[in-house]
Each structure stands twice: as structure tokens, then as C-alpha cells.
Amino acid sequence: MQFDESPELDQFKDGMPENTPAPDAGRKKFRVILLLTFIVVSLFGVALLLKENRTLATLTGTAVVQGRVVDEDGQPFIGEIFILGTELKTQTDANGNFELRRVPSGEQILIVADELIGRDFSIQVTTATTLEMGEIRFETTAMPPN
């Protein structure tokens, strides 16, 4: 305890006060805050490390599937990509590129679709990898007249 933190003599004129602050109460609070900060930063660091080295993907048995979809003229295809039987879905970007994360490992059915039709592709997904589909050509079939 520093001198300027010492109690005044007037506090003891009627005897010892009942509620005297602990001399190291400020240090104790500082230590608790420091410990909690260390725990939060450590957990964040571990989560970031697991994400970066694909350990989380290995533990969960998932992978990433990515590629580019073009139409029959070689132009970027704008549509939806999803894995059949899951809630995993994404949209292609303006260049036709897509990326699906947390795809379950094993044989999966990748669906490429627009508002009217869809096409399926059988893919084999390996845990903790990125399956690069390359360029997928989305060719429409004859549409029945309305």
C-alpha cells in the first residue's frame, strides 16, 4: 500500500472500522481482468489457428468445393450452387465463380441451377481439402413451349 492510499487517523477514533478495504483489492481486480483478457485472447488465437491449418475441417470431416460456371457460350453463369441433401448453398459471382465451405466428405451431388432448370454433378469430397472443380459448362436442354 502506498502512503497516499493509507487510511486517515480520523477513521479510527471510535475503534477499528468494520468495513476496511483490503490493501491489495485493486491488485486483485487487476489480476482478474488480466487473466480474463488472456483467456479471451488465447481462445481467439486457438480458433484462428484451427481455421488456418484446416484442423477444424479435419475434426468436422468437411472440405471446400470451388469452381467457375460458364454457359454454353463460355460466358459467366449467374445462378445458385448447392449440395443436395444439405442446407449448403451459394450464388455464383459476376464472373461465375463459387465457393462452398463445410461440405461433408464423401460422395456428394453438386447442383448448378438457374430460375428454370438445374444440372447435377457427382463429386467426391475429401476431408480437409479444397476440391477445385475447374470450369463447369452449364448447357441448357430444350425447353418445352409455354
Q: Give the pLDDT confidence of 90-135 residue by residue, as tens digits.
A: 999 999 999 999 999 899 999 999 888 889 999 999 888 899 999 9
Residues with Cβ within 8 Å of residue 102, at least 6 apart in sequence: 57, 60, 62, 88
Gap between the Cα atoms of 28 and 46, Å rounded? 27
Residue 79: phi and psi, rounded to 5, are -170, -165
Average per-residue pLDDT in the chain? 84
Cα–chain center distance at 129: 16
What is the CA angle 78-98-83, rounded to 5? Answer: 95
Reported as a single tens digit per residue, the pLDDT across 31-41 is 899 999 999 99
**Per-residue CA distances from 67 to 76, 79, 80, 90, 146 (Å):** 12, 13, 13, 12, 33
Whether this model's pTM surpasses 0.85: no
